[in-house]
Structure 1
Amino acid sequence: MPELKLIHDATVEPQTLPHNIEAEAALLGALMIDNRLVEDVQLKLKAEHFYEPIHGRIYDAILKLVDRNMVANPVTLKPMFDGDEGMKELGGPAYLAQLTGSGAALIGARDFAEQVYDLALLRELVGVGREMVENALDTSESVDPKSQIEQAEVALYRVAEQGGEQGGTKSFLQATRLAVAQAEKAQNSGGHISGVTTGLEDVNHRTGGLQRSDLLILAGRPGMGKTSLATNIAFNAAQRWRRDLQDGIDPAKSLGSPVAFFSLEMSADQLATRILAEQSGVVGSKIRSGSLSRDEFNQFARAAAELEDLPLFIDDTPGLTIAALRTRARRMKRKHGIGLIIVDYLQLLTGGGKNSGDNRVQEISEISRGLKTLAKELNVPVMALSQLSRQVEQREDKRPQLSDLRESGSIEQDADIVLFVYREEYYVAAREPKGDSQDGKTAEAYNAWVQEMQDAFQKAELIIAKQRHGATGKVRLKFESSITKFSDYIDDAYLPQQMG
């Protein structure tokens, strides 16, 4: 590696503090050569962890460019350091190119990052130790040794908690504060919701909303409306977030959230068309065939204009691995403050192993585990859609069961909540009698079928088959297939009587 010219203030006594300038330089060089490495180190490593101040500023600049989806290399970074005095002392922006002189740094980039971080903690520890010694040497009457010990414990705890890592051990006090905050949020909502709203009152009532760090599986056979329900929930959460912000509600108290929707089956424009059909009330088939009336087109265009700034972000990259999805989700969380992730659908993801295609059950286990880890890491609910096995079709009662989840019991094991979408209307429609309507038996069967269709019309069930935090059961929903919209079901029997 080329020799690095570094200048330090002698008063800082650099030789007494743990540091490794070469590791810092090698790490920065590696990050500029391969920007993808940023995702591996940025959750833990911060600019202030670098011993050399100019290295901290270079690292910060790399993060800013990558955050904007720009390439971070010596050429793109140069304008950001033209007036930097520290850079001038090192020979100017040419120092950036000097950092990338050794490609060997790529191999050990993560190790370098770990060392830079560990040495920063040691320096913090040295600072805490010095302060403890200075305070302990103070023997004036006002000194309270017990108070000093408490202050030292707080300082050591602060060092231990550094690094930007989420999670870790929480004291019961910390845990209870979080629990009380969630309960307060549910109380203030008026709807008993402590998580992200689904926009469906009965579902919110049963689940308390979508809870942070939960993995939810939404499963069903083809034609049941899984994607429709997922897009409904995504829209409702994003719309609530936008409305709460407009009303001046503290984002921490909003029941909505920005949403990341990973659509591995449908393109972003198809998904957007569905949502616009739901919100404008315009039949989806007319939108696709271009047979809208002028009024319908105006309705559609008006809905599109109103929803332009909806905080719903769609990634329709096909064939994502679970590792790539997690990387993209982390980036979206950082850039857009994502509070809900939806994946459509789980079986279209691939694992990261070399032989991942050889053992599908093992691969699905890796994927479901990865999604649960993502929910915990980002502290957001993750809803993954899932296909069901064909054995559902072979039963007389076609309501799904947990055993119908395809390919792996680990999906059921990793999930905090398992939801099944079921529409009797779909199966009744498939049983339409065929034959001559003049025939007495056929006419009788047809009339019975019509009655069945009327009973099942626009009715759907959301079956809560598993819920770690609450009871299982069924929620009745209304489903309008022409605009693929789920909404709360209102039973005619409970409607208020008309006054005479």
Structure 2
Amino acid sequence: MVELKLAADNATANESLRLPRNIEAEAALIGALLIDNRIAEDVQQKLKPDHFHDPLHGRIYELILRLLDKNMVANAVTLRPMLENEPGMADQGGAGAYLAQISANSISVIGARDFARQIYDLALLRELIGVGRGLVEGALDTSESIDPLGQIEAAEVALYKVSEGEGESGSVKTFVAAATMAVQVAERALNSGGHLSGITTGINGINNKIGGLHNSDLIILAGRPGMGKTSLVTNIAYNAASRWLRDKADDIPDERNMGAGVAFFSLEMSADQLATRILAEQSGISSENLRMGKISRAEFQNLSRAARDLQELPLFIDDTPGLTIAALRTRARRLKRRHGIGLVIVDYLQLLQGSSKNDGNRVNEISEISRGLKTLAKELHVPVIALSQLSRAVEQREDKRPVLSDLRESGSIEQDADMVWFVFREDYYEMSKQPRIEEEAAYQAWADRMEQIHGIAELIVAKQRHGSTGKVRMKFEAQITKFSDLADDGQQYDDSYE
């Protein structure tokens, strides 16, 4: 047994020796930092202590950054008392001797940034080796239930994290790091004029209510058929993508860009149907007339001009039918990696499929899908908007405005969502109540009511983790399927929601 243990220990040691690393580069970078603390400004954003192969070097680097955060000088003198009892330091001749040794070569300052890049790249290679080893071990292990598709999904997640430079340390943040991110969000809102801390929806009323679309949020947009759910998210997708192009053209840094590239997963409509809606909105031509070709030469020129303007739009439409939640997450990760998308839209949630393990239990399947969408939002660090159906219970009430209990098939949708929106158009229901013209008094009352509410929609924010609930009134032009801000008549905002 002793011989077997020794053999195993030797194998582990030999494998560690074969891992990609450059101990000399690590020592040279630390030496350069001790000579010139300003180098830390260039390397600390990407290079973390965990990226060092030698734990001692990682610990020294961590202490250097800690001192600099306190506006203190980091050199051999200030670091020595903090490292005297550090494991492994005695083997190097003591803290004072080792720090003096690695900071003696002033030439290392010249190549410091190259050293940092190589240390980072080698750390990614080591993480890639770890992913590969885990993939092989998982594929060889048949003691548990055999689920190759699940293993492929897990491998895709792990590879995505490596490609993003996160590795295993990506999920743990100190409070200082988290607080810094919170301050950056507040600064973004301040720079935008005091209300927009996330990605713009292109509709000021919604932006003012929610502060924009926030990274890692799952937003559920629900409504009965005919309310305009798809129209609204199509408008938001276009507005976010066009704002991204506009801010890029104005040389605004990516971290301050108020737009985003958009991945639109359309499980109900085809890509050309969605494109028709956007072209109708931008050209001002009825989408019905576009489909039927009932347009003039002048309108066709407007259409061509709108199409040219949209050529560079960072909007990617995937209209593959019958996607599983696992397949959608895989495709979204690829779009994030290749095109840097910052917003994911799913139309709609009930058309996604879960895994086969639910055995036909629709409630469990919807729960799996909603959890998967929330996981995707956190994993890609982007907002995800998912459309959802409502139950027919809405139609049985006098007041047709939806409430949270109307979400169809699973309470987990409400639980997993950071925000729940409902789209409601009173004129849609009022139209069906039209009395006969012969009933003059009733008809006039109906006509007066229709005049007040025609073309007006409500976005009901029924749940919001970051703020209050309430309603936003919007203008809706049905012919071109466009939502926009309603002229302020003193009734645009209503913070009450029952």
Query: Normalising by the residue count of structure 1, what TM-score does the alignment of the two structures yield?
Result: 0.69
Q: Which residue of 2 aligns with 1:383?
A: 385
The CA deviation at 1:431 is 1.4
| In 2: Cα distance, 1:482 partner to 1:167 partner | 47
Are 2:127 and 1:198 aligned? no
Counterpart selection for 1:483 from 475, 480, 484: 480
The CA deviation at 1:355 is 4.0
Aligned residues: 372
AA matched with 1:286: N
The CA deviation at 1:312 is 0.4
Q: CA, structure 1 residues 135+273, in 2 after alignment: closer, same or farther (shift >3 Å)?
A: farther
Q: Deviations over 1:398-456 (max 9, x none)?
A: 0000000000000000000000000001111121224xx3x3xx232222221111111
AA matched with 1:373: T
Does the residue aligned with 2:15 lie in a helix, a strand or coil?
Answer: coil
Q: Which residue of 2 aligns with 1:417?
A: 419
| In 2: Cα distance, 1:15 partner to 1:392 partner | 63
| In 1: Cα distance, 2:205 partner to 2:58 partner | 56
The CA deviation at 1:124 is 2.5
| In 1: Cα distance, 2:171 partner to 2:449 partner | 55
Q: Which residue of 1 aligns with 2:140?
A: none
| In 1: Cα distance, 2:329 partner to 2:424 partner | 30
Q: Which residue of 1 aligns with 2:408?
A: 406
Q: Which residue of 2 aligns with 1:138?
A: 93
Does the residue aligned with 1:18 lie in a helix, a strand or coil?
Answer: helix
| In 2: Cα distance, 1:140 partner to 1:379 partner | 41
Counterpart selection for 2:322 from 302, 319, 340: 319
Does the residue aligned with 2:264 lie in a helix, a strand or coil?
Answer: strand
Confirm or deny: 8 A CA contact 1:264 1:345 kept in the other structure.
yes
| In 2: Cα distance, 1:494 partner to 1:409 partner | 32
1:61-80 equivalent positions in 2, closer than 5 A:
none
Confirm or deny: 8 A CA contact 1:191 1:205 kept in the other structure.
no
Confirm or deny: 8 A CA contact 1:218 1:226 kept in the other structure.
yes
AA matched with 1:367: I
The CA deviation at 1:136 is 5.3
Are 2:215 and 1:218 aligned? no
Q: Which residue of 2 aligns with 1:177?
A: 180
Does the residue aligned with 1:368 lie in a helix, a strand or coil?
Answer: helix
Counterpart selection for 1:340 from 328, 339, 343: 343
AA matched with 2:277: R
Does the residue aligned with 1:124 lie in a helix, a strand or coil?
Answer: coil
Q: Which residue of 1 aligns with 2:470?
A: 473
Comparing 166-175 and 241-250, the one that deviates more: 166-175
Does the residue aligned with 2:388 lie in a helix, a strand or coil?
Answer: strand
| In 1: Cα distance, 2:304 partner to 2:178 partner | 47
Are 2:264 and 1:261 aligned? yes
AA matched with 1:481: A
Q: CA, structure 1 residues 205+136, in 2 after alignment: closer, same or farther (shift >3 Å)?
A: farther
Counterpart selection for 2:333 from 311, 323, 330: 330
| In 2: Cα distance, 1:488 partner to 1:377 partner | 32
The CA deviation at 1:282 is 0.7
| In 2: Cα distance, 1:179 partner to 1:433 partner | 55
Q: Deviations over 1:100-137 (max 9, x none)?
A: xxxxxxxxxxxxxxxxxxxxx99925785999746753
AA matched with 1:194: S
The CA deviation at 1:247 is 0.6
AA matched with 2:214: Q
| In 1: Cα distance, 2:302 partner to 2:392 partner | 40
Q: Which residue of 2 aligns with 1:360?
A: 362
Q: Deviations over 1:183-205 (max 9, x none)?
A: 11111111521111101111111
| In 2: Cα distance, 1:460 partner to 1:327 partner | 35
Q: CA, structure 1 residues 141+370, in 2 after alignment: closer, same or farther (shift >3 Å)?
A: closer
Q: Which residue of 2 aligns with 1:397?
A: 399
Does the residue aligned with 1:419 lie in a helix, a strand or coil?
Answer: strand
The CA deviation at 1:208 is 0.9
| In 1: Cα distance, 2:252 partner to 2:365 partner | 43
| In 2: Cα distance, 1:450 partner to 1:281 partner | 27
Q: Which residue of 1 aligns with 2:3?
A: none
Q: CA, structure 1 residues 140+478, in 2 after alignment: closer, same or farther (shift >3 Å)?
A: closer
AA matched with 1:200: I
Q: Deviations over 1:197-232 (max 9, x none)?
A: 101111111111011000000000000000000000
AA matched with 1:170: K
Deviating beyond 3 angstroms after TM superposition, the runs of 4 or more aligned structure 1 residues are 13-17, 125-136, 138-145, 158-163, 491-495
| In 2: Cα distance, 1:392 partner to 1:360 partner | 21
| In 1: Cα distance, 2:12 partner to 2:369 partner | 48
| In 2: Cα distance, 1:254 partner to 1:194 partner | 10
Query: Normalising by the residue count of structure 2, what TM-score does the alignment of the two structures yield?
Result: 0.69
| In 2: Cα distance, 1:458 partner to 1:196 partner | 26
Does the residue aligned with 1:466 lie in a helix, a strand or coil?
Answer: strand
The CA deviation at 1:354 is 3.6
| In 1: Cα distance, 2:58 partner to 2:465 partner | 45
AA matched with 2:384: V
Confirm or deny: 8 A CA contact 2:457 2:473 kept in the other structure.
yes
The CA deviation at 1:297 is 1.1
Q: Deviations over 1:206-264 (max 9, x none)?
A: 11101100000000000000000000000000000000001111011101010000000
Does the residue aligned with 2:53 lie in a helix, a strand or coil?
Answer: helix
AA matched with 1:248: D
Confirm or deny: 8 A CA contact 1:207 1:470 kept in the other structure.
yes
Confirm or deny: 8 A CA contact 1:460 1:479 kept in the other structure.
yes
Are 2:277 and 1:274 aligned? yes
Q: Which residue of 1 aligns with 2:147?
A: none
Confirm or deny: 8 A CA contact 1:125 1:159 kept in the other structure.
no
RMSD: 3.2
Q: Deviations over 1:355-379 (max 9, x none)?
A: 45x1111100000000000000000
1:106-121 equivalent positions in 2, closer than 5 A:
none
Counterpart selection for 2:53 from 124, 128, 150: 124
AA matched with 2:471: K
| In 1: Cα distance, 2:95 partner to 2:206 partner | 64
Q: Which residue of 2 aligns with 1:443?
A: 440
| In 2: Cα distance, 1:492 partner to 1:124 partner | 63
| In 2: Cα distance, 1:372 partner to 1:135 partner | 48
Does the residue aligned with 1:218 lie in a helix, a strand or coil?
Answer: strand
| In 2: Cα distance, 1:143 partner to 1:20 partner | 22
Counterpart selection for 2:294 from 283, 291, 298: 291
Confirm or deny: 8 A CA contact 1:18 1:123 kept in the other structure.
no
Does the residue aligned with 2:412 lie in a helix, a strand or coil?
Answer: helix
Counterpart selection for 2:459 from 453, 457, 462: 462
Confirm or deny: 8 A CA contact 1:18 1:122 kept in the other structure.
no
| In 2: Cα distance, 1:15 partner to 1:396 partner | 71
The percentage of counterpart residues that share the same residue type is 59
Q: Deviations over 1:312-335 (max 9, x none)?
A: 000000010000000000000001
| In 2: Cα distance, 1:211 partner to 1:379 partner | 9
Q: Which residue of 1 aligns with 2:245?
A: 242
